[in-house]
Amino acid sequence: MAESTTDFTLDSAAALAAEEQGAIEGKSPWLLAWRRLRRNYVALSFLGLFVLIVVICTLAPLYKDYVAHTGPNEGHLGETFTRDGKQVPIVSKGGFVGGEFIAGGIPVGPQLWHAGGRYVFGADTQGRDVAVRLLYGGLTSLKVGIGSALICSLFALVLALLAGYYGGWVDWLIARFFDLIWAFPVLLLAIALGTALSINGFHHFGINVESGSLWIPTLVISYVLIPYVGRPLRGQILSLREKEFIEAATAQGASPLRVMFSELVPNIASSVLVFFTLIIANNILTEAGLSFLGAGVQPPSASWGTLIADGQERIVTAPWLAIIPGIAIVLTVLSLNIFGDGLRDALDPRAKVRIEH
Amino acid sequence: MLAFIVRRLIGAFLVLIAVSFITYLIFVQIPGGDPAQRIAGRTATDANIADIREKLHLNDPFYEQYWGMMQSLFTGSLKSYASQLDVVDQIKQGIPATFSLCIGAGIIWLGFGILVGVISAVTAGRLSDRVITVLALIGISMPVFWLGLIVRYLFAQDHPFHFMPDGGYIPLTSNPWEWFVHLLMPWFVLAVLFIGFYGRVLRSNVLDTINEDYVRTARAKGLPPRRVLVKHVLRNSLIPIVTLFGLDFAAVLGGSAILTETVFDLKGVGYYAAQSVQSLDLPPIMGVTIYATFFIVLFSVLVDLLYAWLDPRIRPT
């Protein structure tokens, strides 16, 4: 290792501190980060967009009852609705579209506000309201995305703390565990687990998860992504472990738990927060991919991924079925990615955090 | 160096064994997925099922079953439960499509990723940098299968300006031009995500390197800017990209292309895996997982070696 070492003596540190004293005196790192973030309007407005998407999706039941007047799984084959005073079939009987004969029903396209709030984004082949399904599907996608990100970050943090603090064989074991999941083809493992568990659920070790449960994709996604968060965190803790303040805490008789939670965790909290934001984005994409292949969220529950999968076959006659949920995913993931970037820049301008996919 | 290589290879071998064993456990533990029943069909008698169980060695202890499966996988006689087709043969049939897709996409994403990253770093803060940053962010925020669907819809399906052939794989040996044209859309769709990532990573690497002392020295002694950029800045900024590329390329070869293959009906290894997973056919899943893990492990060893060769500072002693 011939890395160039900078001269960093007590004198130069004091000089540096004196230079910046006016600006940083008495400010906590979190306050400083907030001040940096506050000036980043782009990141903040995308945080706003994400919050807006979450709020709109949680209002799905209200939308169902007061605007669309139909549930996410209620089909309306053979029925009509009123547009500009005329009766229009929700799913027409089929016929020629662009010179080609389509045998199945052709659902009605996006109405926006011409039908008094019904079929704002059109209908699907069973006459279900796409807008209602989009909101309920969004709720599912967000639950799985945020839930799996929470579980994944929590497990990764605990494992990284154990590995980094105890070292030795504990570290060896946890590091090998990370290596092992890492070596698996991520998507293949997730698909295999998701399909396997969605047949009869999981009934081992006193844990009972039913086959259609949202817990299955949530847990599968958090499990396969643990090393992506755990590995960098373990690295950070291993280097923090050698710092003097840990030694000081231990010398004062602090218990391992205390060292972990009041000394180590505050030091990596900012990384965990950034990882958390970016991994929600990543997990929403993973969930969509799994559901698209039939190994994620199971019907009749809808998620943005299953909506795109449903729309795939009708992309030519009813393109909105696949296009609209995709736009919802892009907006959500994009807002999280941009906000996550801004958050990282604010918390630690020098950090390099990258979520693998 | 030799000891390092040997150690890495032994580790890689152990990982392969562990991965195959875990895959096996996941699928043996599935309740209700009795393969004998599925092979026997609906009208099977209990005696039939018992026969098949005996023939497939399903009554043996699981470690013996595992051992038998691994043996038949490596002698090439492993058969699918569902279709009775040879697993190794099926994987071999999928390899040309998967490799064509991955190698082409890899070249595109590496080339465009570097181009985009350099342009954006050189013009940092200006309009082109901002536009590239926004596009890169959108690129990494798109579900790849959705992008594939849309691209297919716009350029290849019933649409006023469709001009591309729609999906499928034409072997290179039967018609090189058709092979190329059919793969153009899948290549770019698969590459978009990585172009976004690599562009962003390279941009920040280049901006970090530009502030190094040796770059200032190179400028101060009067080297032309282009030479400084290529010889001093890029050479060093590209090292992390090499690692990323090795690992991503292995991941794509080993199943990450499953979504792209499914959307474009490319009957590659990922497509085969997706189909087998849907029918819970254990032997092909085992086969594909071992195949995929093999690439991931192999490339991570190669990347380590390449990294040591490129950056003497981390060479193991």
Residues of A in contact with B277 (CB under 8 A): 191-192, 195, 293, 295
Q: Do residues B259 and A296 lie in contact, with contact meaning Cβ atoms separated by under 8 Å?
A: no
Residues of A in contact with B159 (CB under 8 A): 316
- Both ends of chain B: CA-CA distance in Å? 7
d(CA B166, CA B178): 11
Share of chain A above pLDDT 70, in %: 72
pLDDT tens track, chain B, 317 positions: 777 778 878 888 888 888 888 877 776 655 455 566 655 555 666 777 777 666 666 666 777 777 877 777 777 777 777 677 788 888 888 888 888 889 999 999 999 999 999 888 888 778 888 888 888 889 888 998 899 888 888 877 766 667 777 777 777 777 778 788 788 888 998 899 899 888 888 888 888 888 888 888 888 888 888 888 888 888 888 888 888 888 888 888 877 788 888 888 888 888 888 888 777 777 788 788 888 888 888 888 888 777 777 776 655 54
Q: Are strands A207-209 and A202-204 parallel, antiparallel or unpaired?
A: antiparallel
d(CA B252, CA B287): 17
Contact B15 A183 (CB under 8 A): yes
d(CA A317, CA A95): 11
Binding-face residues of B in 139-168 toward A, CB within 8 A: 140-146, 149-150, 152-153, 157-159
CA A343 remoteness from chain centre: 16
Residue A3, pLDDT > 50, answer no
Contact A199 B33 (CB under 8 A): yes
Q: Does A24 touch chain B (CB under 8 A)?
A: no
What separation in angstroms does the CA of B33 have from each of A195, A197, A199, B147, B307? 11, 11, 8, 34, 45
Query: Looking at beta carbons, which pairs linking B300-305 to residues 24 or more positions away fall under 8 Å?
Result: B300/A183, B300/B12, B300/B246, B300/B247, B300/B250, B301/B5, B301/B8, B301/B9, B301/B12, B302/B246, B303/B242, B303/B243, B303/B246, B303/B247, B304/B8, B305/B5
pLDDT category of residue A2 using cuts at 50, 70 and 90 = very low
d(CA B30, CA A197): 7
Mutual orientation of helices A186-200 and B282-310 as an angle, nearest 10°?
150
d(CA A33, CA A19): 20
pLDDT category of residue A237 using cuts at 50, 70 and 90 = confident
List the single residue in B with minimal CA-CA distance to A313. Answer: B149
Alpha helices (H) along B169-281: 176-210, 213-220, 225-227, 235-251, 258-263, 269-278
ipTM greater than 0.85: no
Q: Does B22 touch chain A (CB under 8 A)?
A: yes
pLDDT of residue A331: 92
Residues of B in contact with A184 (CB under 8 A): 19, 22, 289, 293, 296
Distance from A71 to chain B by nearest Cα, in Å?
25
pLDDT category of residue A335 using cuts at 50, 70 and 90 = very high
pLDDT of residue A166: 84
| DSSP string for B15-76 | HHHHHHHHHHHHHHS-TT--HHHHHH-TT--HHHHHHHHHHTTTTS-HHHHHHHHHHHHHHT
Distance from A75 to chain B by nearest Cα, in Å?
25
Residue A186, pLDDT > 80, answer no
d(CA B17, CA B290): 9
Q: Are strands A100-102 and A95-97 parallel, antiparallel or unpaired?
A: antiparallel
Element of type H or E holding A106? strand A106-107
What's chain A's length in residues? 357
pLDDT of residue A334: 92
d(CA A235, CA A228): 12
d(CA B6, CA A348): 39
Half-sphere exposure of A352 (CA within 13 A, CB side): 10
| pLDDT single digits (tens) A314-333 | 777 777 888 888 899 999 99
d(CA B145, CA A292): 8
Contact B254 A352 (CB under 8 A): no
d(CA B23, CA B28): 9
Across chain A, how many H-helices and E-strands are there?
A: 13, 8
Burial (CB count within 10 angstroms: exposed 0-12, middle 13-18, buried 19+), residue B94: buried
d(CA B221, CA B217): 6
CA dihedral B63, B67, B69, B71 (to 10 degrees): 180
Q: Do residues A335 and A47 lie in contact, with contact meaning Cβ atoms separated by under 8 Å?
A: yes
| pLDDT single digits (tens) A94-117 | 665 555 556 566 776 676 666 666
* Residue pointed to by tokens 């959108």: B138
Hey, is A184 helix, strand or coil?
A: coil
pLDDT category of residue A206 using cuts at 50, 70 and 90 = low
Q: Are strands A95-97 and A207-209 parallel, antiparallel or unpaired?
A: unpaired
Q: Do residues A33 and A270 lie in contact, with contact meaning Cβ atoms separated by under 8 Å?
A: yes
Q: Do residues A146 and A154 lie in contact, with contact meaning Cβ atoms separated by under 8 Å?
A: no
**A315, A316, A333 ranked by CB distance to B141: nearest:** A333
